[in-house]
Amino acid sequence: MRARTSTLTAVVAAMTAGMLAWGAPAQAGTVVLSRGHVDTVDVAFENGALEISVHDETADPDVERDPADVVFVVKPEAAVTVPNDPRYRFLGAPGATVHILPEVQDENLLWAGLATEELESGVFAGDSVQIRVTRVLGPGGFSLFTTGPTGAPTVLVNSEDGLPDAITRPVGSHMHLNWAFEKAGTYRIKVEVTGILATTGKRVTSAPAWLTFQVRC
């Protein structure tokens, strides 16, 4: 396995400045995405139910897809090395290879986001919902994190310290973050969305969705 000569520290500096092994062959009808803007979790509320889809902006016009029909490819260019910085120890040992889809757009890679833009104000208590990662199947650790202006990471999901992990998002919003995979191979990530209805106090939860990522080296 060969990492780029740049380290994660360099990636963080770029963020601050501008802020596989293959699995089974794709089945007929599967859409394989490897670059461009895509919301891997796009949340909607229809007929009293929360729903998860993939908002694919790599297509023209953009389209909503069933997560079961999509494979997200993490290209070899996503490989960096873990810096000798204790703040990034959650990614593995210093000098190890980690594969990151970054929160700042790289034209050669997928720019993966989370979206609640279709949710209206006044429907959910606190005008927010939770995106929950409940299970990760794969050859290594998986994490989601953001990077602050000083380069400090905020870890939102870490499969190695216990799941589920929840990301609270305001309605009508959109965010990007770093998707980190510690080894090459195929990952299956189980997600759901939950919220409390403002009028009744009832909790509603989406059907679970499985996201499939294939990490190349």
1 inside domain: no
Q: Residue 29's pLDDT is what?
A: 83
User: How many of the other CB atoms lie within 10 Å of CB of 85?
Assistant: 16
3 inside domain: no
User: How many of the other CB atoms lie within 10 Å of CB of 19?
Assistant: 11
110 inside domain: yes
Q: Is beta strand 70-74 parallel, antiparallel or unpaired with respect to 142-147? A: unpaired
Residue 82 to residue 180: CA distance in whole angstroms: 11
2 inside domain: no
Containing structural domain, residue 28: 8-215
First vs last C-alpha separation in the chain: 6
29 inside domain: yes
Number of domains in the chain: 1
Q: Do 212 and 185 form a contact (C-beta atoms < 8 A)?
A: no
pLDDT along the chain (217 residues), means of 10: 41 38 51 98 97 97 97 98 96 97 97 98 98 98 95 96 97 98 98 98 98 97
99 inside domain: yes
What is the pTM (predicted TM-score) of this model?
0.87
Q: Do 11 and 80 form a contact (C-beta atoms < 8 A)?
A: yes
